[in-house]
Chains A and B, each alone.
Chain A
Amino acid sequence: MEQVRVALQTTDPLSHAGLANYLQTRSELTVLRSGQRADADVLVVAAERLTADIVAALRRSAADTGVPVVLVVNEITEAELLTAVECRVVAILPRPAVSAERLVHSVMAAAGGGGVMPPNLVGELLKHIERLQRDVLTPYGLNASGLTPREIDVLRLMADGLDTGEIAGKLCYSERTVKNVIYGVTHRLKLRNRSHAVAYALRSGMI
């Protein structure tokens, strides 16, 4: 099997020695000396947090060599995750959970993946999109389904078989308000009628 050359950057010598020991458990991995970093296939960076210095180093590495990076950190925020990914980080391992097996697996995947992010990291990135939509919609009383809490209440009671008058009584609205809510949701979401609105809400998992 072809050798994978690994450069190691840590904030303290003990972590460096420990991670190097993990990597050297596999004969196909070669841990490079500090002066050989330009020859690396994969860079492993270990730090407590993604500080400005670490980010600067990651940016330099991305610009100079563009090799995939395995990041070992205690914790990482969503904003830091985006920064890390921008700097070609393809795997993030929590420091307390690092083992020889997990580190080697991540390094081998990084070396063989051609910079493509693994599914778990893609999953974390996609959470950013979901969070973003919530942040954009919530101030307007909306959610990704396109329904407001009031519309959900009305649709839930419609699904229970209540008529307009009964829904108005249950929710302490006027019948006119209930009709307006139903008209609003069917018109906005281009639904054909009340049954279609209930079906839409059921299918989207909102009621």
Chain B
Amino acid sequence: MGANDVPEPFAGDLFMTLAVEGRLVVDAVRADELIADLERTLDMITTRLRLVQTWQQMSEPAVDELPEALAQSVVDAVFVDQLAPGQLEHAVDELPKYIRALRAARRLATSD
């Protein structure tokens, strides 16, 4: 990525490289907090992705027929996916790399 390119929102591979090479060392407590946050985020967006995929597979999708507690989540997820198609899939692919990187960086921090 060059300095004048459009910023790439994800850098999971870079974090993996830094962790594996031992250049990224994260305090264990901080790493655990971030890993927990990332796992929660991954869980939430995986749920959103399933909603979008289920919605797309319905032959005649109708918001009115959904339970009230679910309808708003479906509308939000499907609408955002229309605005930024593929972003959820990208996030679901990338976030586990950050989690693995932090686990590697944490181990290095605690073993030193």
Contacts and interface: CB of A to CB of B under 8 A. Distances in A.
Partners in one complex: yes
A203 B7 CA distance: 35
Residue of A133, A135, A176 with most chain B CB atoms under a 10 A cut-off: A133
A98 interface: no
Interface in A22-77: 49-52, 54-55, 77
Interface residues of B, number: 44
A194 interface: no
Nearest to B43: A146
Contact of B44 (A115, A125, A146, A183): A146
B3 A128 contact: no
Interface in A166-187: 176-177, 180-181, 183-184
A14 interface: no
A129 B68 CA distance: 33
A181 B69 contact: yes
A140 B77 contact: yes
A17 interface: no
Given A82-B1, A116-B22, A129-B98, A139 B7 contact: no
A117 B14 contact: no
Contact of A176 (B68, B77, B95): B68
Contacts of A136: 41, 45, 87, 91, 95
Contacts of A146: 40, 43-44
A91 to B, nearest CB: 13
B18 interface: yes
Interface residues of A, number: 45
Nearest to B92: A136
Contact of A126 (B2, B7, B30): B30
A142 B44 contact: yes
Chain B binding surface, main DSSP class: helix
Chain A binding surface, main DSSP class: helix
Contact of B38 (A129, A142, A181): A129
Contacts of A55: 2-3
B20 to A, nearest CB: 13
A89 to B, nearest CB: 10
A116 B23 contact: yes
Interface in B35-74: 37-38, 40-41, 43-45, 47-48, 67-69, 73
A177 B81 CA distance: 25
Interface of A: 49-52, 54-55, 77-80, 82-83, 85-86, 88, 90, 114-117, 122, 125-126, 128-130, 132-133, 135-137, 139-142, 144-146, 176-177, 180-181, 183-184, 188
Given A140-B48, A144-B40, 19 more contacts: A52-B2, A52-B3, A52-B4, A79-B1, A83-B1, A115-B22, A116-B23, A116-B25, A117-B18, A117-B23, A122-B24, A125-B24, A126-B26, A132-B98, A133-B38, A133-B41, A176-B68, A180-B67, A183-B69
4 smallest A-B Cβ distances: which pairs?
A79-B7, A180-B69, A139-B80, A184-B69
